[in-house]
Structure 1
Amino acid sequence: MDKEWTKLPRLSREYKKGVVSFLDFAFTKGKPEGREILCPCDKCKNTWYEKRRVVFDHLVAYGFVEGYKVWVYHGERRSRSTKIDDQMEVQEDSHDDIDGLLFDTFRNFVETDGVNKGPNEDAKKFYKLIDESKQPLYTGCENFSTLSFIIRMYLLKCLHGWSNASFTSLLELLKEAMPDLNIPNSFNKTKAMIKDIGLDYEKIDACPNDCMLFWREHKDDNFCRFCKASRWKESPQVDCESEQHKNDHKVAEKILRHFPLIPRLQRLFMCSKTADSMRWHKDDRTKDGCLRHPADGQAWKDFDRLHTDFASESRNVRLGLSSDGFNPFRTMSISHSTWPVVTVAYNLPPWLCMKPEFMMLSLLIPGSQSPGKNIDVYLQPLIEELKVLWESGVETYDASKNQMFRMRAALLWTISDFPAYAMLSGWSTKGKLACPCCNNNTSSTYLKHSRKMCYMDHRTFLPMDHAWRENRKSFNGKKNLDLHRLC
């Protein structure tokens, strides 16, 4: 379809004629919602449905949204060449920084001369991985170690959808062709290596309406016990029953990714340098009254005073939690919101605790919409781990002291914007009691004609003799002589 007219001046006759031809095409081929279509102007960005007259006015006033060259929302199909070009562009932009991943994981071990061999089984597995990260793929190989090659192979399997059997067959073929390769001979052994390094995660099916998780005692359920929605996507109808039975593979509507927190906290103490840094807040922090770290704050001190048994062990972990939604796709015209939940260990010094390698992704909540108040459904696996860490703790090997100790952890803070704060805390930041600090004392007034809430308590911040405190007419018809209080 010719689109050269989109580059012409928007007030020209040819441009307006092109807009009319576009509207004729969109209302014929684009499956409109009644008498409305998605408006592709630079203001609406294919987000809002508008009538034909409004879309015409918008396209003349604002023009088409930048980059919208193939009208896929209005009935035009992508050509084969366009799809190939898009795939090539994605492949060129993607980069799997395996070397950077291994450096972030093992750099402190590589810099040390020796590694302690602790009694903990998890520690032994981890130290075995360190040895494998130093072994070349074959004698004389300088580009790959055994571990980096296996991780890259596993990445290709995930990207291209290889089956477990085909992956095992490929490993067996490589071992047969090149017997000197230091690689495992099956998919299960490869997956065990990936799990030991901390790259594994747990998939938990969720109700498509965010009602519940299909785990623990409900892991075998097929329908939500609240809304009765099906757990699985509808599969295409197959005529032959035998063929249907052969190819029957159920796919969940929603899947929560859970990255276990406890193994990664234990991993922090398996390196002597990082284990020393986890005690920095008590052993090496400058205590001169200046606020440089959360440990200098009043909340940290009050927590230590209330929980003296927890504070007596400097290796117990203080955690912060942050969550917010983001659109993982390139184009912002697609409405999608995926919610990661990230935890941070505040035991570390300030120049380390906010580094990406020490930020731990705990949950990846699927889209395509914000979970809203149902986020507590998805937080259940993380909360179970936090309860174990707080109540009983877990046995952990400390490489710096070459000893075992019982590590506990406490979640002290959450970091989020105001809408996410409402979701995490359960307090509604809208309506009559919007302020979580003022609570029932929130000064709110409903505007009848505007049909929204208005908050009129800002006069409390003025001096007591200010003229506006006596002004009734310009505000809510009342004086405000209340003392100032900070929210």
Structure 2
Amino acid sequence: MELEPANPQRNSACICTCGCNRVVSYPTRRAHVAAKRAIAGEAEHAIDQPQPLRDTNVVAGRKRRRLTFFGDYYEEEQIDGSDFPPYRDDEPPQANDVNSPPFHDQEAGLRSIHVDTRNQETIAQRWSSSSRPIPGSSQREEEGLDDDEAEDSEDSSEDWEDNNDLNDGIGEHEDRSEEGAEEEDQSERNEDENEDDSQDGANENEDSEDVSAPCTDIVSISFWDRISDELAYKLMTTGLSLDSSDLSMLRQYALKVEDHLTESTFVKFKFAFPESHHHTLRITKRRIELLSEFHSIRYSCCINSCVCFTGLYNDLTQCPNCKEDRFNDRGQPRKVFDYLPLIPRLQAMSANHQHATKMRYRAHFVHQPGVTTDVFDGSHYQSLLSKLVPGSNNNNPFYHFSDERDIALGLSTDGFAPFKQRNKTCWPIILFNYNLPPDIRFQKQYHLNVGTIPGPKKPWDMDSFLWPLIQELIQLEIGVKAFDAVSKSVFLLHAYLILVFGDIPAIALVMRMKGANGCSPCRVCKIAGVRGTNSKTYYVPLRHDQVPHSNPPRYDPSRLPLRIHNELMDQAREVQSAPNQTISNQLAKQYGIKGIPILSTLSAVSFPESFPFDFMHLIWENLIPNLILFWTASFKDLDHRDQGYTIPPEAWKEIGASTASCKVTIPAAFGAPVPNIALLQSQMTSEMYSNWTLFIAPIVLRGRFCQPKYYQHFMKLVGLLKMCLEFEISGEMLDVIDQGFQAWVEDYEKFYYAHHLNRLSACPLTVHALLHIAWGIRVAGPVWAYWAFPMERHCNSLLPSIRSRRHPYASISAFVVAMVQLNQIRLKYNLFSELNLNVVKQGLLKNEFIPHSYPSFKLSPPRRQQPLSAYLRDKLQAALATRFEEEKTTIQALIDLDGPITCYGRVTLLDGGDTIVGRDMVRQCEDSRDASYIKVCHMSSLLKSQYLAWS
């Protein structure tokens, strides 16, 4: 055995001898060796004496540590597995309820080899040795080439405006071995300080230990995955119950986390509720982590968020971009990125019967050719069904989604400003589980936040932050062992990332595209851009006949040259393998891509099919605001004099006043009221722009333009947008959408661009992207399946967690970790109702009534006995005649409506439906909304006929 110093320093490092070959501290190495010996010994014992996985005696004689409460503190003690609380079910599962694989199988070893190989290939491909070791460049400014950090250029009114002056960041893995008690205690003290807003001056990374090594995380995961009896031991705790003390602690902690209570408020619980048991926040956190068996993995990153020190950057001591030091003078990381592992969360979902049942939606989905209703109707997903997974066993190859439990994932990221000044941003990375039904898929409790890239700037190398996630996704492609609560069997869980979406700057970072600074700005097609005068931005009009030496002189919008995955990756390799930085930058500018993106290593990701345009940012945050700028003669520095699209200022003020007055007649279910758009446009959100465009603008803009063609042009856009938002889109409708946007963009260039070079800025990338909306629906499904509204809601939910202005990103990270731990506990112990702190109405209230003939409706007070007016009686008789397909005279003879009738003021559609109010029966406040002017009709055929008439 290798000799160790008598008193090794805390930060001294060595090569671990457990087999992982990682650079770790001496205490961590001892922990690795001890853990490997202990578990290996238990596995050998299990082979000699195999036992059923979920038999109540499977852990008899095994020791497990738990925290036992003694007065005001917890103490660790060892208990026998036989002392576990009883199962929550009436009949505990028996041995024959579980189909378990052998404890040691050759497949586990093969998967480890495949994963390690894919891991090495990822580094070789993304950070190729043939490319420059540091992809940054001080040379680019000296040679006068385009600086990608100025990608926002002058289009501040477009998608690029929210991400100005941003830079990237990176983080390194921190070992969290339980045996290193000193390291764990100091790390936990640091986490307590970060979350406690009362200790604002605490250094967020004061005691972080930087011990990660490149290319070894997946090897470690594979090693633990091979120990099947350890998996069985974890499965034993699934579905167990907790005692009242734990439930009380969990409710208190859930209240603190979900309602963003401060630590000082949490301490007051003990005095406000003296009859209940209360513990310190630190003890509570340790118990929560023990019950959830979940914690974040910490990576060090650049102080300016340029890179995360993973992959090629793992051994660097300075940021390759800004040259800031990675460590402080005590050898500790100056900033960290907390990564939240994905695999244990997916395993917990599969092991929970309720959640696993919901995730069968994908398996039960039936694809109807020619009809688009969900992401699984897209051609990209359909093509994956016949594509083999790389790295699968040659003797037993398998296709993507060949198992009904395979999970389809979507990834979204965006930069948001935690403070009003908007000079600092952070970048959440969240995943969506497409296996869930659409009505719950994007709810907050189902978001999978895998980390929030800390600010203050945008990532310079986004791939370095995605590196931990890519490792897990590669592992999930090969398969990880999990327990299926529906079939009560152990199986190989597979998950595949199929879609990535966000605004244009975010996707440019993920795809490593040049965006508006490249000669080919579009990520879907190879259309050549035209640079504006004295501008670095490339614009994309269809007609180039005014541009000297332009080839071709114009593009046919129905025959745009689309990008192909293999061709784009070949161009990326050519850029990355260029002999010097100058040639690399020139090629990147020509092709529009700066190198091989790390997401290209995933088998289910295809460029550009996996990256459809985000409908929310494209329409509601770019196109509509830009049209308003044209109408108010405010779009950039163009000459708007004598243009037919301008609206006089007095008329625009009237439009704003009419918009504000509309709020009293629009139901609250439609969203927040739209303010005076003439005075308060800066307060408009995407939802407000949507409601204004679809419901208000067609009325208030009528007759406002000097030339009717501009209003007709706008109404064609409204019709196309409404068709895009349909829940079911037929192939015929999709053709109408495609042809409609082609004609609309051509008319837009005729009306607003006027084919003059001095008006090139009227043709930004966001207008050209309209030509790819129909393509996105064909490839990836309906627009709501990949728009950014869920990401925006997620960002808004993070804002209340910022209790410290000095350490905002640490506060966000602590909140996200706490929420994930609570969700893990809900899944593991099936505590959805026990930890639901919201008031849930049970049964019917007084005077409420559910008719037997209409079991999905509930009638609520006020209730009156009164005769009907002649007008209402006539309408009711006509409705009954339609309902029962009888003559009106027959209804009059059979049903007496002349006497007093019981009338209810409210009717509610059950199972989360709307509540409809009788305007004359329910008392209204002065500022209440009046929904009595709503007309309901089916719009699909109407919109189609209207569009065909306009065409």
SS at match of 2:356: helix
Query: 2:306 touches 2:457 (CA, 8 Å); kept in 1?
Result: no
- The answer on 1:338 being equivalent to 2:423 is no
Counterpart residue number, 1:355: 443
SS at match of 1:127: coil
Q: Which AA in structure 2 matches 1:204? A: Y
Q: Which AA in structure 2 matches 1:316? A: D
- The answer on 1:123 being equivalent to 2:235 is yes
Counterpart residue number, 2:339: 258
Of 430, 448, 454, which residue of structure 1 is paired with 2:539? 454
Query: 1:456 touches 1:475 (CA, 8 Å); kept in 2?
Result: no
Spell out the pairing of 1:17-166 with structure 2 (5 A cutoff): 120-128=232-240, 131-132=241-242, 135-137=243-245, 145-149=248-252
| Counterparts in 2 of 1:156 and 1:344: CA distance versus 1, 3 Å | closer
Tell me the CA shift for residue 388 of structure 1.
0.8
1-side partners of 2:301 and 2:531: how far apart? 38
Structure 1 residue ranges without an equivalent (≥5): 1-47, 49-86, 91-117, 139-143, 162-169, 235-247, 478-484
Counterpart residue number, 2:327: 232
| Counterparts in 2 of 1:476 and 1:119: CA distance versus 1, 3 Å | closer
Of 298, 304, 311, which residue of structure 1 is paired with 2:401? 311
Tell me the CA shift for residue 447 of structure 1.
3.5
- The answer on 1:425 being equivalent to 2:506 is no
1-side partners of 2:371 and 2:325: how far apart? 56
2-side partners of 1:231 and 1:182: how far apart? 40
Considering only CA atoms, is the larger Rg found in Structure 1 or Structure 2?
2
Counterpart residue number, 2:348: 267
- TM norm structure 1: 0.55
2-side partners of 1:451 and 1:384: how far apart? 37
| Counterparts in 2 of 1:268 and 1:474: CA distance versus 1, 3 Å | closer
Tell me the CA shift for residue 314 of structure 1.
1.3
| Counterparts in 2 of 1:120 and 1:318: CA distance versus 1, 3 Å | same
Of 468, 486, 493, which residue of structure 2 is paired with 1:381? 468
Q: Which AA in structure 1 matches 2:438? A: P
Tell me the CA shift for residue 203 of structure 1.
1.9
Query: 1:443 touches 1:457 (CA, 8 Å); kept in 2?
Result: no
Counterpart residue number, 2:484: 398
Tell me the CA shift for residue 303 of structure 1.
1.0
| Counterparts in 2 of 1:219 and 1:450: CA distance versus 1, 3 Å | closer
2-side partners of 1:448 and 1:146: how far apart? 64
Give CA-to-partner distance per residue, 1:354-379, whole Å, 9 cap, x none.
Answer: 1111110012100011114x111111
- TM norm structure 2: 0.30
Query: 1:293 touches 1:349 (CA, 8 Å); kept in 2?
Result: no
1-side partners of 2:313 and 2:367: how far apart? 50
- The answer on 1:292 being equivalent to 2:346 is no
| Counterparts in 2 of 1:184 and 1:121: CA distance versus 1, 3 Å | farther
SS at match of 1:281: helix
Tell me the CA shift for residue 326 of structure 1.
0.8
Tell me the CA shift for residue 409 of structure 1.
1.1
Structure 2 residue ranges without an equivalent (≥5): 1-163, 165-196, 201-229, 389-397, 544-553, 558-741, 759-769, 773-951
Query: 2:479 touches 2:492 (CA, 8 Å); kept in 1?
Result: yes
Give CA-to-partner distance per residue, 1:106-144, whole Å, 9 cap, x none.
Answer: xxxxxxxxxxxx97333334434xx12xx3229xxxxx6
Tell me the CA shift for residue 259 of structure 1.
0.7
Structure ranking higher on relative contact order (CA contacts 8 Å, 6+ apart): 2
Give CA-to-partner distance per residue, 1:186-215, whole Å, 9 cap, x none.
Answer: 95x953642542663122111235565346
Tell me the CA shift for residue 273 of structure 1.
2.2
**Identity in percent:** 22
Tell me the CA shift for residue 451 of structure 1.
5.9
Counterpart residue number, 1:28: none
Query: 1:456 touches 1:476 (CA, 8 Å); kept in 2?
Result: no
Count of aligned pairs? 318
Spell out the pairing of 1:443-482 with structure 2 (5 A cutoff): 443-449=528-534, 452-457=537-542, 460-461=556-557, 474-475=755-756
Counterpart residue number, 2:725: none
Query: 2:305 touches 2:456 (CA, 8 Å); kept in 1?
Result: no
Tell me the CA shift for residue 265 of structure 1.
0.8
Query: 2:304 touches 2:456 (CA, 8 Å); kept in 1?
Result: no
Q: Which AA in structure 2 matches 1:298? A: S
1-side partners of 2:314 and 2:757: how far apart? 55
| Counterparts in 2 of 1:195 and 1:434: CA distance versus 1, 3 Å | farther
Query: 1:137 touches 1:183 (CA, 8 Å); kept in 2?
Result: no
Tell me the CA shift for residue 453 of structure 1.
2.8
Query: 1:443 touches 1:456 (CA, 8 Å); kept in 2?
Result: no
SS at match of 2:403: coil
